[in-house]
Amino acid sequence: MKKRKPSERMFEFASFLASAARGSVDEGGLGASLRFLDALSQLPELGKDTYDDKFLVGMSKYVKKHMNIDFLVAREEYMELLDDVLARFGRQIRRRDGFDA
């Protein structure tokens, strides 16, 4: 098994959080997905001394800007935010794995 860099492990964890945020809605609990998004938004700050991932920094800003507003406004808008976050991670994963997205 290939040893991964700390930045790769952090990205994989962030991808997990994005996926869990969306999946937790169908499993019950919008509140849980909001907590996942909050954790996702904090990752770049937590790892700033060990890695620099421009995608995660941008994602953090995007999530912080939208998560509480969309959560409080309407379920439909919040679901769109979750779907968009997951789609952005999907495109980034494809880029990092060498596929054009």
- Centroid of chain to Cα 87: 10
Confidence (pLDDT) at 2: 66
Neighbours of 74 (CB within 10 A): 10
Measured between alpha carbons, how far is 10 from 43 in angstroms, rounded to an integer? Answer: 8
* Domain range annotation of the chain: 6-96
Q: Please tell me the predicted confidence (pLDDT) of residue 76.
A: 86
Q: What's the CA gap between 41 and 58, in Å, rounded?
A: 9
* 67 vs 77: CA distance, rounded Å: 10
pTM: 0.75
Q: Kindly give the residue spans of alpha helices, DSSP state H, lying in the chain.
A: 6-27, 30-46, 54-73, 75-96
pLDDT digits (tens, 9 = 90+) for 76-85: 888 999 999 9
Low-confidence ranges of the chain (pLDDT < 50): none
pLDDT of residue 12: 85
